[in-house]
Copies of this chain bind each other. A is one copy, B any other.
Amino acid sequence: MAIENAYYGQEGHGPYELIGIGDLQLEEGGTIKDCKLAVATFGKLNAAKDNAILISTWYSGTSKIMEQVYTGKGRALDPDKYFIAIINQIGNGLSTSPHNSPDPANFPKVRIGDDVRAQHKVLTERFKIDSLALVVGGSMGAQQTYEWAVRYPEMVKRAAPIAGTAKNTEHDFVFTETLNEAITTDPAWNGGNYKSSGDVAAGLKRQAKLWTVMGWSTQFFKEGRHRALGFANMQEFVDNFMTGYFAPMDANDLLAMAWKWQRGDVSRHTGGDLRAALARINAKTFVMPISHDMFFPPDDCQAEWRLIPHAEFRPIQSIDGHLALFGADPSAVAQIDKGLSELLATKV
């Protein structure tokens, strides 16, 4: 039986449309019956159907933050110029996810590739789009962006993976495991069998602390950015901002996304050969790591950039680290915007 959760819904995260794609066969086996993706769109598809942009979502994020931080009139992702589809990933709470499924504790394992095939179905069948001017996303959104560019090379004209990798690292895998264990060691999680997300508050708070340590950067705290954001001290920042962010979310949804995140790897298409997989990319690609990102460090992204045929390495400078994605550092937002504008201006 689904688990009620007021956080996920049109009120906080809409408007979006739930688009059914029928049953989704999964790479790991099993099926999601009557799979639905939550899609928010902005702007109009032009007659040539060559102005479509796909934005993918990150771990814990929904279309709402992507809309608010990354799109807008006069911005790179301008609904006056582009038809922008933000598709919520499976498991993020808006699209089909453990908490809104009949058996939350036994939701099947979903891979990035499943998401991308599902998104492809929505774009081609519902919106009749067969060309994407740009695919862009941060973190797990970058994983989906890479998967798109490798899986559908003819369809993706430009790609901007921000703060994420094409093949997840062993280091990042273990980091994500610590996030998962923060939840699963909470007795109230109970193998996924809980009544309400609030039951797992202790586990979600521990997760919030881990994000506090790794999500930002030491420099962020050294320079008092947490105080600049309005929190008197670290304790308040952890208790109110970080814990406040994760507390209303569904534990099983987070675990479903994390499982995907840990296993993101485009080299699954080429028998483990990352070079061969990235060589498939036709898209003009801007690889955009964040300077102080502690788990997708620029070095990792640069190594992948070297393997992509038409790519530029465009690091973003920000002591906000990985969570510069949240948009609290206006300079980082401006840098991303500038990068995306230049990428969109590139003839392909």
A276 within 8 A of B: no
Name A220's closest neighbour in chain B (CB-CB): B171
Cα separation A218 to B206 with both chains bound (whole Å) = 22
Stretch at the interface among A54-62, A63-71, A177-185: A177-185
Name A297's closest neighbour in chain B (CB-CB): B218
Which B residues touch A214, using CB under 8 A? 213-214
Contacts A185-B206, A187-B187 given; indicate if A218 touches B177 (C-beta within 8 A): no
Cα separation A234 to B174 with both chains bound (whole Å) = 8
B169→A181 contact, CB < 8 A:
no
A178→B222 contact, CB < 8 A:
no
Q: Nearest Cβ distance between residue A315 and chain B, in whole angstroms?
A: 15
Which B residues touch A226, using CB under 8 A? 170
Name A233's closest neighbour in chain B (CB-CB): B170
Name A238's closest neighbour in chain B (CB-CB): B174
Query: Count the A residues whose beta carbon is within 8 Å of the partner chain — how many?
Result: 36
A175 within 8 A of B: yes
Name A171's closest neighbour in chain B (CB-CB): B221
A329 within 8 A of B: no
A219 within 8 A of B: yes
Cα separation A314 to B242 with both chains bound (whole Å) = 35
A297→B187 contact, CB < 8 A:
no
Q: Nearest Cβ distance between residue A263 and chain B, in whole angstroms?
A: 13
A174→B213 contact, CB < 8 A:
yes
A291 within 8 A of B: no
**Within residues 205 to 225 of chain A, which ones have a CB less than 8 A from any CB in chain B?**
206, 209-210, 212-214, 216, 218-222
A-B contact pairs, 11 of them (CB 8 A): A169-B222, A170-B221, A171-B218, A174-B213, A174-B234, A177-B209, A178-B206, A185-B206, A213-B214, A219-B297, A222-B303
